[in-house]
A and B are shown apart, each in its own frame.
Chain A
Amino acid sequence: MATTALPQSTYLHDDTPGLWAWIKSWLFTVDHKRIAILYLLSINFFFLLGGLAATVVRIELVTPQGDLMSSDVYNRAFTLHGVIMVFFFLIPVIPSVLGNFLVPLMIGARDLAFPRINLLSWYLYMFGGIFALSAAVLGGVDTGWTFYTPFSSTYSNSNVILTIAGAFIMGFSSIATGLNFIVTIHKMRAPGMTWFRLPLFIWSHYATSLIIVLATPVVGITLLLVAIERIWGVGIFDPALGGDPVLFQHLFWFYSHPAVYIMILPGFGVISELIATFSRKRIFGYEFIAFSSMAIAILGFLVWGHHMFVSSQSVYASLIFSFITMLVAIPSAIKVFNWTATLYKGSISYRTPMLYALGFIGLFVIGGLTGIFLGVVAVDIHVTDTYFVVAHFHYVMVGGTIMAYLGGLHYWWPKMTGRMYNEVWGGISALIVFVGFNMTFFPQFVLGYLGMPRRYHVYPEEFQILHVLSTAGASILAIGFIIPIIYLMGSLIAGKPAGDNPWDATGLEWQTSSPPPTHNFHETPIVTTEAYAYPPEAAELDARSWRPGSPL
């Protein structure tokens, strides 16, 4: 399986002479794999920046008094954390990094349908990021990442427009990526790659793209309206000018609730790949998992009002939104049950990506079930704007999206770079992330239930022990995120060549060299079998041939 040297002709190699030519070959590339690498670097940069803001927030909360910063600076710190993490990390991370790299490879295409639009999407992402960061440098913004009106449109004296402009531009980047995926999946599948032979990673990216192209324009226009009201005083959201602040919440959550599925659906796709590969089994209920992604995408458009139970929204609207929210649990549960059924009697190997996948299932179940609590009007009214909500969405976004991203990154790292990383450190860091994450966010469920409101930098003394626990967990979590940066970078220098298919996985991406050549395949693949076509007896044979000392 493993080879002794990397292939000579890959997308990473350049014959261009000189440093400037090399830089140009990256900055003007239209190769989807190189654009994925550009995204990998820039998105991880934003992740570290958002993490830094979170660190400031957590340090402040170690003590009940506001002794590190004023309430105003605290507002700006958690807003920076939220804006960066939501708009510049969680939404683009899996589609733009893993999706960009893998969608063409998985369907047997040479590139995405619109390579130049793909490059444009990266530039738009960077411009959006520069806008948001310049807002932070010029003093920050204090509205929270939700930009609720009329505070954002009338009263806030911080850099609202710059930040909104950043998110607005970033929206176009998302749309470009989503559009590219939809057209590519429809038009560029290899011969024989029928819809029901597509890897579930592709199904989930298709569902995600659907949400992106249909919902993102709404938030773009909404943010633009805030800017228009702020600049010209047109009465749209401010009641004093004849507007309605609740209208903003409707428009904002029409996008931002589906945006949660933009964050988590690609993660589902990653987990389906990992579970099948490391169980050595055909995924259980392929069609159900595929259609559950589409069901989540569609239902996701009908539940936004569950963010507005205390906003003066009509009681009847709240009841309907509450009922539809319950329905989202069905396709989500279908996925979890099918992954678990895939594990049953599988030949499970606890490699680093699988540790992240198993962690994902546990954490997502907690995140999802607490979402059901919050979907019930009576419970939600009790815990609205408390740390219970903060814990819930971190379980979904960090426990879900980031675990899936890290699992996927470790799984496809050998394909992206051609080299293996240190498996021991991989396992250790996955465990550290799992422990650190739970230690950070589980106490926040208790804090919220006991009444600790979110977005406050001072709090009663009886909450201190739980806050200290949470901050200690965040430190552990940070270590868990830093270790992979070190050993993954190290693998580029000293990692063993991975070979084309180090995990013995199915899927077209594993049939080409690692790293792949510029045009992905030397010959167009013709697909003749379903996805995850592991031989039925693979798990049994693996179990029989296992000896003490074999890799887990």
Chain B
Amino acid sequence: MATTNPTHSADGHGAGTHDEHAHGHIGRGTYFRVFGALMVLMILTVVAFYVEPLLGFNRLVGVIIAMAIACTKTALIVLYFMHIKISERITQLYAAASFVGFALLVIIVMIDYFARGWPPAPGPLP
């Protein structure tokens, strides 16, 4: 199946893989800006909680606003603090796959919740 190569490093890096050192770099300034953005979003969440009732928003709108802020914060953390923005394509693919898996879990479970009672169960026989 194989021949051997005494001159090649025994680490045996993957055939056909890209140079993994070709990474980008996130500067310290960016980390501080992202941190600042996270703090602002956190304050925004708290403010929204108190302001929404004053503006007469119903609870569902409040939940949507809170979720939107939370998703933005998650995206910032994943992209910058977890280095996904400057990672290799395969790492980005795995990160995306985990979100697809999570989305499947939430969507299918919610479909079950919405569809319960369809069709209505027949009542007791006369």
Contacts and interface: CB of A to CB of B under 8 A. Distances in A.
A317 B8 CA distance: 55
B52 to A, nearest CB: 22
A301 B101 contact: yes
B86 to A, nearest CB: 18
Interface residues of A, number: 49
Contacts of A301: 101, 104
Contacts of A228: none
Contact of A108 (B12, B97, B114, B118): B12
Contacts of B97: 210, 214
B58 interface: no
A313 interface: yes
Contacts of A316: 111, 115, 118
B13 A187 contact: yes
A192 B8 CA distance: 12
B109 interface: yes
Contacts of A191: 5, 8, 12, 15
A188 B9 CA distance: 11
A65 to B, nearest CB: 38
B101 A523 contact: no
Nearest to B90: A186
A33 to B, nearest CB: 15
A550 interface: no
Interface in B1-29: 1-6, 8-17, 20
Interface stretch (A41-49, A325-333, A378-386, A527-535): A527-535
A314 interface: yes
Interface stretch (A123-131, A424-432, A503-511): A503-511
Nearest to B116: A314
Given A314-B111, A525-B3, A528-B2, A186 B17 contact: yes
Contacts of B117: 314
Contacts of B94: 182, 213
Nearest to B115: A314
A527 B12 CA distance: 11
Contacts of A506: 1
B119 interface: yes
B105 interface: yes
B11 to A, nearest CB: 6
Contacts of A523: 4-6, 8, 10
Contacts of A188: 11-14
Contacts of B60: none
B3 to A, nearest CB: 5
B98 interface: yes
Nearest to B97: A214
Q: Which of B17, B90, B115, B117 has the most CB of A within 10 A?
A: B115
B108 interface: yes
Contacts of B13: 187-189
B88 to A, nearest CB: 9
B118 A315 contact: yes
A306 interface: no
B11 A110 contact: yes
Nearest to A520: B10
Contacts of B11: 109-110, 188, 524
Given A247-B109, A526-B3, A317 B20 contact: no
A537 B26 CA distance: 58
A210 B98 CA distance: 10
A190 interface: yes
A64 B94 CA distance: 52
A146 interface: no
B113 to A, nearest CB: 8
A194 B16 contact: yes
A363 B1 CA distance: 32
Interface string A297-310: 00001100100000
24 contacts: A186-B90, A187-B13, A187-B20, A189-B13, A189-B15, A189-B17, A193-B15, A301-B101, A313-B116, A314-B115, A314-B118, A316-B111, A316-B118, A317-B112, A508-B1, A511-B2, A521-B4, A521-B10, A523-B6, A523-B8, A524-B5, A525-B12, A528-B2, A528-B3
Given A213-B94, A214-B97, A526-B3, 7 more contacts: A191-B5, A210-B97, A254-B105, A302-B104, A523-B10, A526-B8, A527-B1
Shortest beta-carbon contacts, A-B, top 8: A314-B115, A523-B4, A525-B2, A317-B112, A189-B14, A190-B12, A524-B8, A316-B115
